[in-house]
Amino acid sequence: MATTEQIANEYYEKGMAQVFNNNIEPGIDNLNMALSIYDEIGYEAQYIMAMRGLAIGYGILGYDSKMLSKCLNGLQFADKHSIRGAKHFFYTTICNRYMLLGDYDGAIAYGLMAMQDIESYGPEFENPPSAYLVVYLNLCYCYINIHRYNEAELYFKRACDITKKNDMNHHDFTLKVLNARLHLASGDQQFIIDNTDDLMSCVKSLQVTIQDYLQDLYMLCDTFLLMNDYDHAIAVAQNLKMAADGALDNSLMLKLESAKLFMRIYKKENDMVKYHEACVVYAETAIELNDAQTEKKLLDMDTSIALSIADTPIDLL
């Protein structure tokens, strides 16, 4: 018979798997179950991880207030229970959200806070090498986007050192994209030309989600656009559209992102006909996504009201 902790872990593992595979809302439900059990049994470390998972899920859905609330709760919990080396999870989640919104100065502020926490206290919490890697990749990405290439190069090298030391390959595509952009910034366009086939082969094999690889595809697309290589930029956008068409959940979000990418390409190419077509797809998808989210919110309200009534004594009804 499974122990209470094992049951909580099952909820947590299933919830995180669902979040990272675009099945966000069921994932949030499972993470909330895990959080509740971890709180009940006093498993502080996993309570923090479940809270972080919820923050990631709400961030993916674009529920910024809920995402921030979970991050603040996690930070306060760490302080209250004197847990060191875990705050970076929440700083990184906030950093990622700023990155997606294009506020790279804000992202850097939280990225540096994450780095300070994990470099100072990382060994005091069960932090895998990937936690350090994500911090450095985020900072590299942000510094590239504000054209501070010396800082970007510094964090790129730190990220590469971690992957080599720990024989990690999950982020190989991200490193290739960042490397290509840094070479372009140094004037070495030939490096990208020589490695285009390898980059596009990687693109075709990706399992793109809202959480994984989306920013990499944007940066790779922008790199090709800076080279006026519209054919490969369009190929990147088409692969994102294919991922959206094949997604089981959050396909509308991915479709919206692919439309944004096509808009960016055709505007740069000055193809106004295709640009306007992409604008129409974006608008129609945005309306469809808003309608779906509104329907979900109404269902959640109805469920909450029904549960509240069920818990109310009959004499008070």
Average pLDDT, the chain: 90
With cut-offs at 50, 70 and 90, classify the pLDDT of residue 254: confident
Confidence of residue 62 (pLDDT cuts 50, 70, 90): confident
Instruction: Compute the Cα dihedral for 86, 91, 92, 94 and give only its sign.
Output: positive
Q: What band does 244 get if pLDDT is binned at 50, 70 and 90?
A: confident
The predicted-structure confidence for 96-142, as pLDDT tens digits, reads as follows 999 988 999 999 999 999 999 999 999 999 999 999 999 999 999 99
What's the pLDDT at 216?
A: 93
Cα first-last separation, the chain: 41
Q: How many residues does the chain have?
A: 317
Confirm if 243 and 208 have CB atoms less than 8 A apart.
Answer: yes
Average pLDDT over residues 174-196: 96
Domain ranges of the chain: 1-83, 199-293
- Report how far apart, in Å, the C-alpha atoms of 191 and of each of 51, 152, 154 are: 42, 18, 20
Q: What is the pLDDT of residue 178?
A: 97
Between 24-28, 144-148, 299-303, the lowest mean confidence (pLDDT) is in 299-303
Kindly tell me if the per-residue pLDDT of 71 is higher than 90: yes
Please name the residues in contact with 180: beta carbons below 8 A apart, sequence gap of 6 or more.
191, 192, 195, 199, 220, 223
Q: If you average pLDDT over residues 235-264, what whole number do you get? A: 85
pTM of the model: 0.87
Amino acid at 259: A
Whether domain 1-83 has CATH 1.10.10.2520: the reply is no
Whether residue 304 has pLDDT greater than 80: no
**How confident is the model at residue 209, as a pLDDT?**
65
Between residues 22 and 199, the one the model is more confident about: 199
Q: How confident is the model at residue 165 (pLDDT cuts 50, 70, 90)?
A: very high
CA distance 132 to 245: 33
Determine the longest span between alpha carbons in the chain, in angstroms: 79
- Rounded Cα gap, residues 212 and 130, in angstroms: 14
DSSP 240-297: HHHHHHH-SSSHHHHHHHHHHHHHHHHHHHT-HHHHHHHHHHHHHHHHHHHHHHHHHH
* Burial call 46-60: b when 16+ CB within 10 Å, e when fewer: bbbbbbbbbbbbbbb
Q: How far is residue 136's CA from residue 108's CA, in Å, rounded to a whole number?
A: 11
pLDDT over 90 at 76, yes or no = yes
Q: Which of 59-73, 80-94, 268-282 has the lowest mean pLDDT?
A: 59-73
